[in-house]
Amino acid sequence: MALISLDDLEGLDEDEQLDDDITDNPEPMGDEHSDRLLAHWRAVASTHQVTVPTEMRGPIHEMARNNQQREPVPFALISCQEKMGEVMWEERVYPAGKWACVRQAEELYEQSISKSFMKLMRFICKENSAGGHLGMTIPVVSTVLVTADGETLDKNVETGFYLPAAFQDAPPRPHDPDVEVVQRDAFTVVAGPFVGTTNEETVTRHIGLLRELLGASASERLRSGVYMVAVYENPGVPRRRNEIWFLRR
């Protein structure tokens, strides 16, 4: 989900394929593999000063085994700008719908989104009134605020995912009071893709790059100071696919 970076894990070659191995293996995962996967996540999280508690072993296992069961969040494409066959940005409309969200404010931006996503993982996997795995949608989206200097992210971040279609009409209730299921109105975004990590430095840099790409005239029709970071792939993918979303006024 790109909420904990793997770019610093060059020394963990043996563990880099854990997610793929578990997804491809239909047999139940033994304790040894479960421990290795938990250790892998802990090593990743430590690069951002985040601790992964033992209680996350079950959700991590379930997310790995159900990695292929991911629904795309529906949208309508309005326009697409390409250059030499490469998408520079797209304008899209996302429909009204229910999202499960967590708001977290930690010392570091990476801590805020990492801890929020762990709460969402527990909700997705079992800590809900349905009592089972809900399924996952992509992308996972974090709403971020840029402070007045234009170079710093507010650490109070809301991270959420669109509930799968099967649960849109009757969403399960979260056990954790920090997880809130909210109804969002339809919204329009201009989405600019980028590949790699989603830490504070890369997010602020790509916000600036997209603003330059769109130019002043286009930017006048967009909200300033609030942006969305959309993440499409799980933490086991070193070169993850992400997008910066500018919101239409």
Which range is least confidently modeled, 46-50, 143-147, 223-227, 241-245? 46-50
**Contact indicator for 196, 242 with CB cutoff of 8 Å:** yes
In tens, the pLDDT along 176-216 reads: 999 999 999 999 999 999 998 888 999 999 999 999 999 98
Percent pLDDT > 70 in the chain is 85
Residue 187 β-bridge partners: 94
**Rounded Cα gap, residues 159 and 230, in angstroms:** 10
How much is the pLDDT for 52?
86
Dihedral (CA of 115, 135, 172, 98) sign: positive
In tens, the pLDDT along 21-30 reads: 434 444 445 6
How much is the pLDDT for 3?
37
Query: What does pTM read for this prediction?
Result: 0.84
Which range is least confidently modeled, 26-30, 57-61, 74-78? 26-30
Domains present along the chain, CATH in parentheses: 13-65 (no CATH), 70-248 (3.20.80.10)
